[in-house]
């Protein structure tokens, strides 16, 4: 193991919960200590973790802040809980991802329209329609873009750079 690596830590501070409220269905609204808040749909989290008790509306409707302020729990049961870091991460993944966010993503990665379209096996006109808001960004594309932001390895694996003003056959 190389020196200087710390395993198992996240440099972000743990967000503390000021208030929590259940909304319709499996929506949870969380206000953070220090300001700000999020609404997050826990349907997928509940299903993946097989927490059947939280599918009961009368139980889900009564969330509580955990003792240290860094978890939400139900019925005073630690087995029926989610930590604030995961709430924050889920909310980030569920945040709006439309034309503006797609354009920012493309600019952040320095891709041309053709390179971005090729990366996702799309026609360049389809990509431009997403980028300009003519068509809604599909969920699969949102997921892929956010995954590449977390881990750029798929970008490195599938990007085929193009030289400006060159047809695809001449660029490769």
Query: 75-87: b or e for each residue (b if 16 or more CB lie within 10 Å)?
Result: eeeeebbbbbeeb
Please give the structure tokens belonging to residue 46. Answer: 């509940």
Please give the structure tokens belonging to residue 52. Answer: 């059947």
d(CA 95, CA 105): 14
Confidence (pLDDT) at 167 = 55
Confidence (pLDDT) at 52 = 92
Q: How many structural domains are present in the chain?
A: 2
Residue 9 lies in a domain: no
Q: Which of 2-6, 8-12, 33-37, 162-166 has the lowest mean pLDDT?
A: 2-6
pTM above 0.85, yes or no: no
CB 26 within 8 Å of CB 40: no
Residue with tokens 């978890």: 71
- Domain boundary at 36, 66, 94, which? 94
- Percent of the chain predicted with pLDDT > 90: 83
pLDDT per residue as tens digits for the range 60-97: 999 999 989 999 999 988 889 999 999 999 999 999 99
My answer on whether 27 and 84 are in the same domain is yes
3-state secondary structure of 40: strand
My answer on whether 103 and 87 are in the same domain is no
Strands 17-22 and 27-32: antiparallel
pLDDT per residue as tens digits for the range 124-166: 999 999 999 999 999 999 999 999 999 999 999 999 998 765 5
Overall average pLDDT of the 111-136 stretch: 96
- Domain boundary at 94, 121, 152, which? 94
- Domain boundary at 79, 94, 109, which? 94
My answer on whether 87 and 39 are in the same domain is yes
Kindly report the CATH number assigned to the domain that includes residue 79: 3.30.2020.10
CB 130 within 8 Å of CB 116: no
């Amino acid at each position: 193991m190389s020196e200087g690596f710390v395993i198992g830590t996240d440099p972000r501070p743990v967000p503390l919960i000021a208030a929590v409220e259940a909304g319709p269905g499996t929506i949870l609204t969380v206000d953070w200590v220090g300001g700000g808040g999020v609404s997050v749909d826990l349907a997928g989290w509940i299903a993946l973790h097989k927490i059947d008790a939280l599918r009961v509306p009368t139980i889900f409707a009564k969330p509580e802040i955990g003792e240290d302020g860094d978890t939400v729990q139900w019925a005073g049961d630690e087995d029926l809980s989610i930590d604030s870091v995961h709430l924050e991460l889920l909310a980030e993944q569920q945040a709006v991802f439309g034309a503006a966010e797609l354009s920012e993503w493309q600019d952040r990665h320095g891709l041309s329209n053709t390179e971005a379209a090729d990366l996702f096996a799309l026609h360049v006109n389809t990509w431009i329609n997403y980028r300009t808001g003519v068509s809604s960004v599909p969920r699969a594309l949102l997921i892929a873009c956010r995954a590449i932001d977390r881990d750029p390895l798929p970008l490195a694996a599938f990007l085929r750079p193009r030289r400006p003003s060159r047809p695809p056959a001449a660029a490769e």
